[in-house]
Amino acid sequence: MIKRSNVNDIIRFSYQADGFTGDDLQIEKSIVQRRRKPVKTRNLHELVTEPRGDIPSLEKTTDALDLSLQYEKKIYDLEQMLDIAKSFCQNLDFDNLLESIVYICMAQMHVLGAEIFVRDLITNENYVLETAKDLFDESEKPSIPVSSPITKKLLDVQMPITFDELKLLIEDQKTLETLKALSPTLIVPLIQKTHLNGLLILQERIAIEDDVSYNEYEQNQIMSIASLASVAINNAALIEQSSTDMMTHLKLKFYFFNVLSEAIDQSFLQNENLAVLMFDIDYFKKFNDTYGHECGDYVLIEVANIIRKSLRESDTASRYGGEEFTVLLPNTTTEEAILVAERIRAAIDTHDFIYNDQHLHVTISCGVSVFDSTENLVNSPNEFVNQADQALYISKSKGRNRVTLYRKPDNSR
């Protein structure tokens, strides 16, 4: 079995906890040179015809072969680790990064499934299961409190641990129910400095020669991956937080424009439609003036939740400013965009907003603009959003609580 100390003779990780880049992973030049010079061994005929009296020579040759194979495996694993580090560093989208970590760990550890708990980016009070979106709604995601004895024990051991081993360390077995439901074969802490950024759960393992246990080398390997993953998660989380409105949990205006700019280019190249919706809460000021600003915040949060739940995963919603919201709908026709806008408007119109036992009736107006390479070829994100804003103004002027499609002025008259 290859000891961790031997591996450290070959590779040196030197990453900054506050910002990890591919350049921070340094591979010793001597390893590359050693790889160019394989261990010399004699051919099979020489070994077979070796005089029986020279058995020690044969044993030395066998030892050299074993050592060569060990180091070849180490070099291969280190090359894989370098590729993994590059993959993590290049992916700063939070959801995509978590998915990448899951698939890499599944492939490296030969498991049929893996999940990741990460700290809630808004409250920091729980570790939330963020990789099982198909199984749970946003409000039903399994979570583990930051103060849970599970997290404290993982910080204490700072190494992978099986579920059975964790059970022996935890007195209150009820706290383990969330983990037990995921059928873990190994629980790996994602640690950065002295902080636990999350938990990596490895599920059912593919049996190799009827052995599903993790040997020491494999546990060291998954901890190396976990160290890289923890830094990458921290970096992606910082970007996610800096681009998210803390009240509504929707994206900020500048992020929306960056995504919109890329979407316009993509739609032009692929000759696809692209839609932008702009919403404005009707008579929003009266909620602040009548019930106070906390009521206004409540209305904003509820409206944002309705908008979010009405969209696809590929869509992007943002808080544009004040009580205005924008939505980007990729690969969406005019008819589809109006249908989505009407669905959101109707959902808000019929939703029962209750604040301090007061039932509030909230409505919203909307403007829709659709990019089309033949009929509406917009030149910039600003022009695109301004079109939706002009349509929104028409909705407001015609009585509010309605959806209006932007149409280019007819210059033939």
Q: Is 335 in the active site?
A: no
Q: In what order do the strands lie in the sheet with 195-202?
A: 143-145, 126-129, 114-119, 195-202, 186-192
Nearest CA-CA partner of 377 in 257, 261, 273, 278 = 273
β-bridge mates for residue 57, sequence order: none
Whether the CB-CB separation of 174 and 95 falls below 8 Å is answered with no
Q: Which residue has the tokens 């370098």?
A: 82
SS3 58: helix
- Distance between CA atoms of residues 72 and 380, nearest Å: 53
The beta strand positions in 166-298, using DSSP E, are 186-192, 195-202, 274-281
In terms of Cβ atoms closer than 10 Å to its own Cβ (0-12, 13-18, 19+), residue 396 is middle
β-bridge mates for residue 355, sequence order: 358
Q: Classify the phi-psi angles of 177: left when phi > 0, otherwise alpha if psi is within -120 to 50, otherwise beta.
A: alpha
Nearest CA-CA partner of 86 in 217, 225, 199 = 225
If you write DSSP's letter for every residue of 293-361 in order, what string do you get? HHHHHHHHHHHHHHHHHTS-TT-EEEEEETTEEEEEEET--HHHHHHHHHHHHHHHHH--EEETTEEE-
Of 323, 324, 375, 383, which residue is the catalytic one? 323
SS3 276: strand
Active site residues: 323
